[in-house]
Amino acid sequence: MGSGGVWRRIWALARWRTRRRRSGGGGAAAEGSQSRGHFRGIAWRRRAASPEGSAFLKCLASNTSEFKLQVYDPKSPSYLPILRSSIYNLRFTSSKTLKPLYIITPNHESQVPPIVVCSKKHGLKIRVRSGGHDYEGLSYTSKDPFILIDLINLRAIDVDIKDNSAWVQAGATLGEVYYRIAEKSRVHGFPAGACPTVGVGGHISGGGFGSMVRKYGMAADHVLDARLINAKGEILNKETMGKDLFWAIRGGGVASFGVLIAWKIKLVRVPPIVTVSLVDRTSEQGATNLIQKWQSVAVYKVPKELQILLQVDVVDRNTTTKGGLGRTIQASFRIFFLGRAKQLIQLMENKFPELGVKKEDCVETSWAESVVNFIGFPFGTPVDILLNRTSMPKAIFKAKSDFVTRPIPKIGLEGIWKRFLKEESPELLIGVWGGKVNEIPEKNIAFPHRDGNMYLIQYGSNWDEKEGKAASEKHINWIRELYDYMTPYVSKSPRAAYLNYRDLDLGLVKINGTTYSDPSIWGPMYFKGNFKRLVKVKGNIDPDNFFSSEQSIPLALNKYKVGFPDGRPIDILLNRPSLPKTTFKAKSDFVTRSILKAGSEGIWNRRKAPELVIDVWGGKMNQISEGKIAFPHKACNVYLIDDVSNWEEKEGSEASTKHMSWIRELYSYMTPYFSKSPRTTFINYMDLNLG
């Protein structure tokens, strides 16, 4: 389900550098009768279906409800318009991206369980899309044959002002939710994201951060109930799913556990009039010093009702700007205040006079209208723009995230600016923490990023698809280098990340069927100490791992460590010759910082039939001083790598030389990515090549 939270491209639309694109089609209209085939209750476009596809359709026909179910295949005229309608990262519109066997647009929740049951029965994956804002496209792409369930028709919203609550179906967008709340009340709102086209299904399940996070916390903190379909096709609510699963889907990402159909959310109180303001400052106007002051003020020195979001990008200087023509850094301070303009101006004059907020910079408006203004639409734009599911631009982009726990020094900021000026269209977006979001305990729901965090930072770069593959690699490598540069300035042990800003560079569960990144490395980055509980919930609710993707919650961490099949008696541990013998050569390295994706891909390109075993450091291992015992590899190490190549003895000496030369070449290639001065190794993985 789409993650949402896409505020890297929701502000200042006039500055957006990428052409705005809108795909055709917007719904799941039925095909003309002359082009349809029929099973009972199903309409689909005829094609030469794959065996598993045909079996799936027959299964679906025998289990469908009385509501006609729309099924689109790649030959249907509506297939591509529907597929592209909610793809907001155009990196995933490539012809090389595997597309779904069928797109299904259910009109009623009762139509979803048969899709789940039949997909599982016939070995097909499913992807579930509510808004299509998943940064890495996991809500509508897969490495394996799959069915796409597009929830665009499941977007009913039932607001109950007396109860201060609303039932919201997963296919609704944040804009639709905000509009329907505002229809009923000027003094109620919901503390979720700024982008109106984000789907609520994925957004809330990943946490859901917005401009009221300091006053009310995350969107997931305000979930009262949910309706979810598990791998058995059962429709569960809060009571029937149990407290562990209800805990997990609030911040742990629902796509690992089932198909989210609806949330019941708790509404919050907002004043009838709120204030928004925008102040831009360039480097020549003292932006760097202002950001330093902002870091000391925005988190701890202003009330919860005030959020001062920060956007940094590169703009062209005009002729009147000090420094002349060229490019420069611009910081945009985007202010949202739950109160009147007069109060805001007094507050800013007292706490942050350097910014120079004036009366003419402020606009008083209703809460719903503030959402429209806050995302860059001109003042006076009708509020019903929130109902437009295609109102926001689409682009090719790559993004990463970090949580920051202490102010970034001036030298660190200047290093960011230096790198920004080398990139065509970079962005830095920062949401301030503090207040309510920090007060809620980490384990209250699955979303863990609470006390101790100052702000959430997101880096992004977007580019035009006409630039081609080489340009894409250049932009992606740029953001990876920036991420590497930021290491000293952000959270540690683990370096935390926000699930709704999904980043596959952190690690994948599988690639071409081979596990290469232990989830115990990247899982805590998203979920910190809650990751182990999420793994346990996953094993209980989805033991067959049907709801899986490249970055889903694994069934169990020991699945990646133990080689014996499930069910083997524990006394196998007493069998001294229980493991196979082989001809092999091994080498080892300690890693002190994350290997960039380009480095990992270079390893995969060199791998033929080897093994790569990674053991994670940290915790107690890193806390013990190096001089305590003779074993020295303690602090600063992230993990230990053991690289092994095996071959058959009967291959002969020539083959043996080839395999050993290969692993030596790999060891040489990996030099830039491992420990230095000295390059360290593990004595238990003895290597005579060292000397």
Q: Provide the 10 A C-beta neighbour count for residue 653.
A: 7
501 is an active site residue: yes
Q: Which of 498, 501, 667, 673 is catalytic?
A: 501
User: Which of 338, 260, 238, 211 lies closest to 547 in space, CA to CA?
Assistant: 260
Could you give the 3-state DSSP secondary structure of residue 594? coil
Could you give the 3-state DSSP secondary structure of residue 136? coil
Q: Give the whole-angstrom CA distance, residue 360 versus residue 341.
A: 10
Q: Give the whole-angstrom CA distance, residue 599 versus residue 579.
A: 32
The CB-side HSE value for 567 (13 A sphere, CA atoms) comes to 1
Instruction: Using alpha carbons, list the distances in angstroms from residue 99 to 95, 140, 347.
Output: 9, 8, 52
The answer to whether the Cα torsion of 41, 42, 46, 47 is positive or negative is: negative
Location of structure tokens 């139509």: 111
Location of structure tokens 């734009």: 381
Q: How many helices (H) and strands (E) does the chain have?
A: 19, 23
Instruction: Using alpha carbons, list the distances in angstroms from residue 93 to 84, 203, 338, 404, 469.
Output: 7, 22, 40, 33, 13
Name the pairing type of β-strands 102-104 and 146-150. Answer: parallel
Instruction: Please answer whether residues 6 and 427 qualify as being in contact, where contact means their C-beta atoms are separated by less than 8 angstroms.
Output: no
The CB-side HSE value for 3 (13 A sphere, CA atoms) comes to 25
Instruction: Please answer whether residues 186 and 391 qualify as being in contact, where contact means their C-beta atoms are separated by less than 8 angstroms.
Output: no
Tell me the residue type at 109: E
Reading the block at residue 386, the tokens are 């929130």
Residue 529 makes CB contacts below 8 A (sequence gap 6+) with 442, 443, 448
Instruction: Please answer whether residues 675 and 637 qualify as being in contact, where contact means their C-beta atoms are separated by less than 8 angstroms.
Output: yes
Strands (E), 120-163: 125-129, 146-150, 157-160
Q: Give the whole-angstrom CA distance, residue 534 versus residue 523.
A: 10
Q: Give the strand order in the sheet containing 327-337.
A: 362-365, 274-282, 327-337, 306-316, 426-432, 455-463, 396-404
Beta bridge partners of 308: 335
Location of structure tokens 């690699």: 473
Instruction: Using alpha carbons, list the distances in angstroms from residue 481 to 401, 422, 476, 506, 602.
Output: 13, 12, 9, 14, 16
Instruction: Please answer whether residues 248 and 537 qualify as being in contact, where contact means their C-beta atoms are separated by less than 8 angstroms.
Output: yes
> Could you give phi then psi for residue 171, rounded to 5 degrees?
-80, -5
Residues with catalytic roles: 501
